[in-house]
Structures are given as structure tokens and as C-alpha cells.
Chains A and B, each alone.
Chain A
Amino acid sequence: MGKLQIFVAVLVALLISSVSSAQEEYKFDISEIEKKPYHIGGYVEFRPAIFWMDKDAALYKLRFFNQDEGNTIEEYNGDIQLEGSYEKGIARVFVLVNGDLTYSYQGWSDSLDLYEGTLSLKPSNSLAIDLGKETQKWGKGYAWNPVAFVDRPKDPEEPDLAREGFWMASADYIKSFSGPLKTFSFTPVLLPVYGQVNDEFGKSDKLNVAGKFYLLLYDTDIDLMFLTGGSRTPRFGFDFSRNISTNLEVHGEFAYINNFKQKTIDERGKVSESKFDAKSYLLGMRYLTEIDTTFILEYYHNGTGYTQDEIGSFFSLIDKSYKTYLSSRNRDSLTKAQSLAGNYGGVNPMNDYLYLRVTQKDPFNILYFTPALTSIINLDDGSFSLSPELTYAGITNLELRLKASANVGQNESEYGEKPSDYRLELRARYYF
């Protein structure tokens, strides 16, 4: 064979291999789309964080009154979220488990929680019945959901995280129409509270009844919801969501809570309880620009929240109690304040808030890179949190996020009295 013939043969072979590899590139492996009756998946996450403490803050004194962990605290978190499902006929079993392992100034701690565990029956596309531990995530708000009557409270700093459900029975009935009303659905819920079953939900020995009606009416999502039964006071509400234009969406929620009980503590440590009908509401919008910048803006009125004076009294009590402890080692008053720390020191405990989140997709054409800036502003006392973050998801199944947070505010303000001024956190999450 001459050199030219060899060269041509090699060239042809190369051409054939490049074509066939290109063809292989554009092929589907049947195993990729074969449906199996079971599925196991989830993610593992490593999340180290460092906190810069504010030793003058009331909530720092409440938590660390008898210890000094220094000016910074480090925390190393490992999380695993595991889900599994099995389908046969009209039945499906689904399980979601969340495990956490933390090393901090308190040493090692771990937890393993069943977030969801349901048996679903779907006799038709119009009807489904679910039994077990599940979540019902009602509401259109991004950071807050006053109408989430049968769900655990959301952390507005991490609104996309999965949450633990409650044991309940629920159903979905769906009906479609032509005309302005395109869809109607009804979701009834039975939520028992007996013994240890759903004991965190409210008063025991009650069978609670809740429900949500959904309508897609004139291209607007509308929900009407209610809860009654005794573990919590009766409440009802509604929400809506609609696209005003191709790049502007508006949404809102309203909740009316009958006879809401609120515990307050004054400067002297006297605890009292009041009952009132509370109204909470939210109005928000999502706007997308031509360069793929997304703005989410929400105003939230928390009708069950504390006034500035009430929060101020709580923080004053802590200061006085701390001084008493330092002088006499008497911690009675601090203990009383700690019993209400979940209320006063919880997530957004006051009345009026603003939420702003700005996200830029693929800036400078860097694919899968998303910087964002989030701020939660307490409109009552002017304090706020500010959280810039950088997320990169350019490696298949791996998500990296670097997030910083700053709490800014004067004395006796919500964010001014948080135990830490700054936080820096790295989150590396791998999906499988």
C-alpha cells in the first residue's frame, strides 16, 4: 500500500470515527429513560460557618450569660437528605429523611428526622389521597406565608429548604374547565393531635380539619383556605398570584386568626397573656429584566407580632436580668426570659417587614454562576439583615454557595440585639 493510500485510509478512518462519535453524542441510552418502580436519591452537604458575636446584644447575653466562647464561634455542619419511593399500580410510598451532624462550641450533636413518610393512592388523574407524614405548603409568598396554616414556620433566610411535615390525611380533587375558570381543586386535610402525634402543632386530643380551594380564574391563581378543630384557634385566609406582564408577577396573602393568644413579658418579668383577632397579610412582586436580573420584593404585616415597645421591654428585661446575674448569680429572671425567647427571639417576631432579593443569572456570561443579595428590613425599628451570596452549579450534581450575613440595628432593635453581627457560611451540596 502506498503512503498516499495509507494517509487516505487513516483520514477516512478518522472521519468515520468523528462522525460516529458525533452520532453517539446525540443518542439516547434507553436505560436513561426506563422507568423503575423505585427511586432512591437525595443529597449530602458540608456547611462550615463562622459567626462574629455581639457580646453587647441582649440575645447573646441570654444564651451565653454563663460562658465565654470568644469573639467568634465556628460551626461545622454535615447534612444528608435521603428520599426513597416505590410505586405499584395506583399506590406509591414516599419517604424523606433528614440527618444532621454538627460540631460546634457545644461539642458534637446529631439528629435524624423523618420529614415525610406517605402512602399515596391515585385512582385517577383527578383524585389522589395521601396518608402519613407530609407537608402542605400553602401560600404564594416567597419569604413568608401567613396562610400556611398546617405547615411549620419557614426561615425567610432559607425559604427553599425542605421542612418536617405533620401526620395527616389529605386528598386532592381536580377539575378542569374551558372558559375563564380553567381549574378548580379542593384539598381537604385531617390533622390529629393525640399524645406524641403532632404534639408540636398545638392543644392535644383534637382532630383538626383544614382545607384549601384552588382556582385558576382569568389567568390568576386564587386559593381560599381554612383551619379549625381546636389545637389552634380557627383561621381562614386567601392568596393570589398573577402575571401582570410577561416579566412581572404579583402575589399576596391574607390570614385572619380568631382569638390569637399572645404571651408578653414586661421589664419586671411579669408574664401576661392577651387574646385578639389577628390579621396578617403580604403583598409581593417578582420582576425579571431583559438581562435576567430577578427582583423579589415583599411587604409583610405580621398581625401576631410584637410592637416595638413590647420587644423593647423584653430586651430591657434581659439587660437587667443579666446585671442581676453578674452581681448575685441569680438567674431566675434570665430563666423566665429564656422561656419566651422562642417568641421574642424567633424569626421576624415584630409587625412590619420588607423583603428584597436581587438575583443575577449568568453575569458576564459565566454559565451556572448566580450572585444574589437579600435583605430583610424591620420597618418598625429600622433594623435589617443583609446577605450577599455567590452560587455556582457548573459541575453536574454539585452546588457551591458562599453566603455572608450582617445584622444591623440600634439597641433594642430586632437585628441589633441578635447574638451575632456577622456570619460567613460555605455550603457544598452534592446530589445523587
Chain B
Amino acid sequence: MKKILMCLFVLIIAVPAYAIDGTQLLKQIDRNLNPESYEMYRKIINIEPNGRKMEYTLFSVKKGVDKVAALFIAPASEKGRSTLRLGENMWLYIPNVGKPVRITSLQSVIGGVFNNADILSLDYAAEYDVEKVEEAGNEYLLYLKAKTKTVPYDRIKLWADKNKKLPSKIECLTEALMLIKTLYFKEVKDFGAGIIRPSVLETDSPLYKDYKSIMIFANIKQRDFKDEVFTLTFMPKIESLRK
């Protein structure tokens, strides 16, 4: 009898862990971070080891699973530049050059620790499969594997708050589990309309020792867009979306 009760007790403890659907959890984390279609403003601050800073301000729009565009509105040297992601395709538009050129997610159009994949990020569930979920105190730890070779980080370890279902830390890794960069999600803020999420994203990288990059989010709003906004021909006109 005691043995049966012990087994039942162990099962009761174990079942909740096995009941976590990693994919659903990841989708929920994505939705808690951003609506499926939205507009937002971001400021990226690159901090060098000597304390010097370079700041960039971007206006970003996203629709659905695989459409993202970003427009630089500051500083003056970058104003008018835009980047577009449509599925696996990515382009950069520079006003003086006057036509978009193809770029890769590995590049960084602004320098610093953030690259194009970080600036034009899609839902994690769109690019990664969940290999396993562990519980670590009051957090979930998700082990993610890239769905295709085109995704810049082959593996990701994502720590998420159990209650809020929001990420607190992400480690981006190579296939050989070498650390590329770490993202820290901080300062949860209410952006209105039910969007409550971290407003600051800090990142550092062992590849850029003592450099730090910070992304600050503002004015995140759910907004619908026509598909035609996310096209090469529309890139010079992204500014017209700002209200």
C-alpha cells in the first residue's frame, strides 16, 4: 500500500512537468512579447568599453509570421535607411543609393552586438523548435533548435518567468554550443492595450568583449498592415506609415 501511495505521489509531482507543451509555451511567450501585427519604436545604444555611445532610433512594423520592416529615423547619417524581411529574404535600402540590396541576417547594418536578425526578429516559434523544457525555480528553461540553416543562431536557451510567460534571459549558441551572445530582458512595462512586456533588452557577447548593446522599446501598438507594405517597391515609402 505504501509503495502504491509513493508511486502515486511521484506521478503527481512528475505529471505537471510532462504536461508542459513547449511549443505552446513558446507561442505564448511570443504573443506576450508582441502582438502578431504591430508597430513600435526602438532605440539601440551601442556602448564601447571606453563608455562612448552611439544611438540609433528605429520605427518597426511587423505582420504575421514572416514580415518585418524597420526604418531608421535617427541619427541624421542613418535617417531614411530601411531594412525589410520577407520570409527568408532580407534587404537594405539606402536613400542615396536609391535601390534595395540583399543582405543577410548575419550582418549588422549598424555595428555593435545586435545584428540584422535581432533588429528584424520574427517570432521564436516561427524559427525554432522546442527540444525540451525544464523548470528552474520560478522560471521555465526552454531549449530551442533552429528549424533551418538560415536562422542565425543554431541553438537558444530561453529562460522565461513561469507566471508572466515572458523571457528574462536568452543565450544564443552555435551548433557546437559556443556562446555567441546573451540577451537580458528587463524593466517590464505596461504599453497599454494589454501589452505588458520588458521594455529594455541588453546584450553582451564574448566575441565583443566589454562592448554592450541596449535596445529600448516604446510605443508598441497592435496595428494591421497590407501585405504590400512588406515589399521591395514599398521600402522607400516606409516613412509614410508613421503617424
Genuine A/B complex: yes
Q: Residues of A at under 8 Å CB distance from B?
A: 25-28, 32-33, 35, 41, 43, 87, 92, 122, 124-126, 128, 135, 137-140, 142, 159-162, 172, 174-176, 182-183, 185, 187, 214, 216, 219, 221, 241-243, 246-247, 249, 251, 286, 288, 292, 361-362, 365, 367-368, 393-394, 396-399, 431-432
Q: Which residue of A lies closest to B199 (CB)?
A: A26
Q: Is B138 an interface residue (CB 8 A)?
A: no
Check if B229 sits within 8 Å of A125, measured CB to CB: yes
B46: chain A residues at CB < 8 Å are 367
Check if A185 sits within 8 Å of B97, measured CB to CB: no
A361: chain B residues at CB < 8 Å are 108, 111
* Known pairs A28-B41, A185-B233, A365-B208; A160 contacts B94 (CB<8 A): yes
Nearest 3 Cβ contacts at the A-B interface: A176-B227, A137-B98, A431-B76
Set B54, B87, B219: member contacting A394, Cβ < 8 A: B54
Set B55, B77, B96, B240: member contacting A87, Cβ < 8 A: B240
CA distance A362 to B150 in the complex (A): 23
* Known pairs A174-B234, A288-B106; A362 contacts B111 (CB<8 A): yes
Interface string of B215-241 (1 = CB under 8 A from A): 010110000011111111110010010
Check if A33 sits within 8 Å of B227, measured CB to CB: no
Q: Count the B residues whose beta carbon is within 8 Å of the partner chain — how many? A: 62
CA distance A292 to B242 in the complex (A): 33
Check if B111 sits within 8 Å of A367, measured CB to CB: yes
CA distance A137 to B230 in the complex (A): 20
B105: chain A residues at CB < 8 Å are 246
Check if A396 sits within 8 Å of B54, measured CB to CB: yes
A431: chain B residues at CB < 8 Å are 75-77, 79
Check if A396 sits within 8 Å of B77, measured CB to CB: yes
Check if A185 sits within 8 Å of B231, measured CB to CB: yes
CA distance A288 to B115 in the complex (A): 14
* Known pairs A26-B200, A33-B41; A125 contacts B234 (CB<8 A): yes
Set B77, B98, B214: member contacting A135, Cβ < 8 A: B98
Q: Shortest distance in angstroms between A181's beta carbon and chain B's nearest beta carbon?
A: 12
Set A32, A122, A175, A397: member contacting B237, Cβ < 8 A: A122
Chosen A-B contacts, 29 in total, with CB atoms closer than 8 Å, are A28-B41, A28-B43, A33-B218, A41-B76, A122-B240, A125-B226, A137-B97, A139-B99, A142-B101, A160-B96, A162-B98, A174-B233, A182-B86, A185-B232, A187-B233, A216-B231, A216-B232, A219-B87, A288-B104, A292-B107, A361-B108, A361-B111, A365-B208, A367-B111, A367-B112, A396-B77, A399-B77, A431-B76, A431-B77
